[in-house]
Structure formats: C-alpha cells, structure tokens
Structure 1
Amino acid sequence: MILEGKRVLITGGSSGIGFAIARAMLAKGARVAITGRNSERLAQAVRDLRGNGLPVTGVQADVATPEGRSQSLDKAIEVLGGLDVLVNNAGGVRAGRLEKTTEVEIRTMVEVDLVAPILLTQAALPHLRATGDGLVVNVTSGIALIGAPFYATYAAVKAGLARFGEALRRELKGEGVRVLTLYPGATDTPMMQSSKAGPELGFTREPPEAVANALIEGIQASSFEVIRGGEARAKMIAANRDDPGAVDERFLTMKSALEEAVSGHSAL
C-alpha cells in the first residue's frame, strides 16, 4: 500500500507507539486522526505533529466505550472524508500474579485490548470496503507469541487480537480490505514506565520510532505481520514451538526477579 493521501485513524495515538505511527504515516503523506483519553496529552500530541504543518486531527475519546468508538469513527470520517486505514493501537496492561489481579483490572484489559478493537473494526469495515484498498492494523505484543509469567491476562487478550486479525484477514481476502498484525517487543513508551524489567530479564527496550518505521515497511510490502525483536525473538519463538518445556525452565530461572520487576507494571 502507498500511504500518500491515505486517510488514517489511529487509536491511542497521543503517545508511545501510536504517536510514532502517526508521525511516520504523516511523513509518508497520509492524513491522520488520532484518539486519546487524556485531553491535555492529546492536545500536545496534535501540536507536536502539526509542527511541520502536517494534517492531523485529535479526537478525545475512550474507545473502550460504545460512545468513544462511535465518536472516534464519526469524527475521523467527517474530517478525513472517509477511511482507508484503521490502526487499533490503544491498549492497557496490568502485570503481576493472576491471584493478585483484580476482576476490574482483568475486565479492563479484555475490554480495551480485545473487545474495543474488534467492535471498532466491525464499525469501520463498510468505510474501509468503500475505498477498495482498505487496511486494518492490529497492534498486539510479543507476549502474544510467547506467553510470559505474570502477564497471563495480557497475553490472552493480545493473542486473541492476533488470531482475530488472522481470521479476519482470511475472511476479507479478495474483498479490498487487508489486515496486518504488529507484534512489538519491549518499547520505550509511557506504558512501560512502571515496569522495572530490563535487558537482564529479556526486556531490551527499543524506541517507538523503530517499531513505527518497521510497520511502515510492512504496510508498503503488503506483509501479513511485523514481529519486532530480531534474531533473538525468532529463536525464542522457534524454541517455544519446538521445546516449550525448555522455555518454561528458562523462565523458572528468572521467575522471582521477574515477578518483583513487573509487580508494579500497570497502565490501564
């Protein structure tokens, strides 16, 4: 897909990976609308993106609610005159032992990370079909590929979103709408600020710009998926498939340190 002139809606676009994707798409000539829950952060993001006179619109909305999804889609279509690309990026996380995770936290992750992108995609599909060259991008996580201890619910919802995208891609094949799944690894974003897990535990953080640039390359190449983490991630995915017990043992050696490092990781 050539992004020049494309009309793009990015949820959770006021910071982190979403903001970096917005900037990268604007640089390719796309017209962009971003959503965010925090009005001040959203306004600052729009100011930053407009710094070079780029065409971007901010929509304050919570896409975990029906009203927020409707407002996001309606405003984007009104301003952009249609929709070519939907980027389901908004998400939240609460790490820690399952027994210590509250029902509210679990339900919030399910609603924000899985239900919201499914329902927003459903609502956006008629508009994406109308272009004849539509695209849905689902931002999941490397944890969707390799389940990590203390991220049980987050792994579940992100893996669910990944399989949703795979099934929808096949459902829509030949109908003018493609689906791409993005699997970021640990990324230096506000969502990761409360996590103390570092490279010694396998959480080597890369800048969000690197993730966004890889996504742009994937879109231009009509890829099905973009997986971050390089050769090390590829080897671990293979090991998790061929000898999952060995991966279990590897996590066991770091389990105590990992639990301590991520017990406060919360961004909901």
Structure 2
Amino acid sequence: MNIAGKRVLITGGSSGIGLAVAQVLVAKGAKVAISGRRPEVVAAVVDDFKAKGTIMQGVVADVATAQGREATLTVAMEALGGLDILVNNAGGVRAGRLENTPEAELQAMIDVDLVAPIMLTRAAMPALRASGDAMVVNVASSIALIGAPFYATYAAAKAGLARFGEALRRELKGEGIHVLTAYPGGTDTPMMKSNRAGPELGFSLEPASAVAAAIVEGIEANAFEVIRGGEARAQMTALNRDNPAAVDERFLGLKPALEDAVKDHSAL
C-alpha cells in the first residue's frame, strides 16, 4: 500500500505506539486523525503537529463505549473526508491473579481490547469499502502468542483480537480491504510505567518508534502480521506450540518474582 494521501484513524493515538505510528504515517504523507480519552493530552499532540506544519484532527472520546465510537468515527470522517486505514490501537491492561482482580477491571479490559475494535471496525466498513484500497490494523500483543501468568484476561482479549483479524482478513479477501495484526512485545510507553518486571522476567522494552516503524512497514507491504521480539520471540512461540509444558515450567520458576513485579501494573 502506498501511504501518501491515505486517510487514517488511529485510536489511542495521543501517546505510546499510537502516537508513534501517527508520526511515521504523517512523515510519509498520510492524513491522520487520532482519538484519546484525555482532552489535554489530545490537544497537546494536535498542537505539536500543527506547530510542525501538519494539520491533524483530534477526537476526545472513549472507544470502549458506543457513544465514544460513534463520535470518533463521525469526527474523523468529517475531518478526513473518508477513511482508508483504521488502526485499532487503543488498549488497557490490569495484571494480577484472576481471583483478585475486580470484575469491573476485567470487563474494562475486554471492552477496550476486544469489543471496541470489533464494533468500530464494523461501523467503519462502509467507509473502508468506499476507499477501494483500505486496511484495518489491529494492535494485539505478544501475550496473544504466549499466554503469561497474571495476564489471563488481557491475553484472552488480545488473542481474540488476533483471531478476529485473521478471520476478517479471509472474509474480506478480494474485496479491497486488507487486515494486518501487530504483536508488539514489551514497549516503552505510558501503559508500561506501573510494570516493574524487567528483562530477567521477559519484559524487555523497546522504543515505541521501533514498533511503529515495523507496523508501517507492514502496512506498506500488505503484510498479514508484524511480530516484534526477534529470534528469541520466534523460538519461544515455537516452543509454546510444540512443547507447552516446557514453557509452563519456565514460568513456574518465575512466578513469585513476576507476580510481585506486575501486581501494580494497571492502565485502564
């Protein structure tokens, strides 16, 4: 896909991976609208782009709600004059033991990580069909490939998003809409600030700019997926498929330290 001139909506685009993707796309000539929940943050991002000579539309809305999704799509479509690329990036996490996590926080993860992308994509389908050369980008997680303890619901939502994307890609094959799924590993974003797990526990962090660059390369190549983590991630994913008991044993040895390190990890 040639990105120049493409009209793009990025949910959760005011920080982290979403903002980094917006920066790369704008540099390649795309027209971008972003959504976010925090008015002051969205405004600051839009002002920053404007100061650099780029007009960007910001939408303050919570895509985990029906009203927020409607507002996001309506404002973005009016500003962009259509839609060619939808990036479902907004997400939330709450780590911890399942039985110790409040039901409301579990539901919040499911709503923003799984329900929102499905419903927003459905609402955007007429615009994407009208484009004739469109794409949906779903930002999942490496935890969708290898389930980690204390992230059970997050893993479920992100794995569901990944399979949603795969099935939708096949559903839309030959109809002018491609679907790409991205699997970032640990990324240095505000979402990870309350996570104290380090590389020794499998949480090495890479810059959001590196993840964004890979996602945009995937968009340009019409890739099916973008998986971060290199050969080490590939080997662990293969082991998880071929010998999941071995992965269980690895996590068993890490569980006490991992539980303590992620018990305060919350970004909802």
Residues 77-123 of structure 1 show CA distances to partners (whole Å, capped at 9, x for unaligned) of 10100000000000000000001111000100111110011000000
Residues 201-233 of structure 1 show CA distances to partners (whole Å, capped at 9, x for unaligned) of 111000000000001111111100000000100
**Structure 2 Cα separation of the partners of residues 131 and 144 of structure 1:** 30
**Structure 1 Cα separation of the partners of residues 177 and 192 of structure 2:** 32
| Partner amino acid, structure 2, of 1:191 | M
Tell me, what secondary structure is at the counterpart of 2:187? coil
Please list every run of 5 or more consecutive structure 2 residues that lacks an aligned counterpart in the other structure.
Answer: none
In the alignment of these two chains, the number of paired residues is 268
**Structure 2 Cα separation of the partners of residues 90 and 49 of structure 1:** 20
Tell me, what secondary structure is at the counterpart of 2:137? strand
The equivalent of 1:240 in structure 2 is 240
Give the ranges of 4+ consecutive aligned residues of structure 1 lying more than 4 Å apart after TM superposition.
none
**Structure 1 Cα separation of the partners of residues 155 and 48 of structure 2:** 32
Mapped contact 1:183–1:226 kept (Cα < 8 A): yes
Query: For 1:114-133, what aligned pairs fall within 5 Å after superposition?
Result: 114-133=114-133
The equivalent of 1:4 in structure 2 is 4
The equivalent of 1:29 in structure 2 is 29
Query: For 1:47-86, what aligned pairs fall within 5 Å after superposition?
Result: 47-86=47-86
The equivalent of 2:219 in structure 1 is 219
Query: For 1:89-104, what aligned pairs fall within 5 Å after superposition?
Result: 89-104=89-104
**Structure 2 Cα separation of the partners of residues 149 and 174 of structure 1:** 39
**Structure 2 Cα separation of the partners of residues 157 and 166 of structure 1:** 14
Query: For 1:140-219, what aligned pairs fall within 5 Å after superposition?
Result: 140-219=140-219
The equivalent of 1:19 in structure 2 is 19
**Structure 1 Cα separation of the partners of residues 63 and 188 of structure 2:** 23
Residues 178-215 of structure 1 show CA distances to partners (whole Å, capped at 9, x for unaligned) of 00000000000000000001111111000000000001
Give the C-alpha shift of residue 48 in structure 1.
2.1
Mapped contact 1:36–1:62 kept (Cα < 8 A): yes
**Structure 1 Cα separation of the partners of residues 149 and 206 of structure 2:** 21
Tell me, what secondary structure is at the counterpart of 1:179? strand
Tell me, what secondary structure is at the counterpart of 1:45? helix
Please list every run of 5 or more consecutive structure 1 residues that lacks an aligned counterpart in the other structure.
Answer: none
Q: If the length of structure 1 is used for normalisation, what is the TM-score?
A: 0.99
Residues 135-190 of structure 1 show CA distances to partners (whole Å, capped at 9, x for unaligned) of 00000000000000000000000000000000000000000000000000000000
Give the C-alpha shift of residue 56 in structure 1.
1.0
The equivalent of 1:45 in structure 2 is 45
Q: CA RMSD in A?
A: 0.6
Give the C-alpha shift of residue 51 in structure 1.
3.0
**Structure 1 Cα separation of the partners of residues 245 and 23 of structure 2:** 41
Q: If the length of structure 2 is used for normalisation, what is the TM-score?
A: 0.99
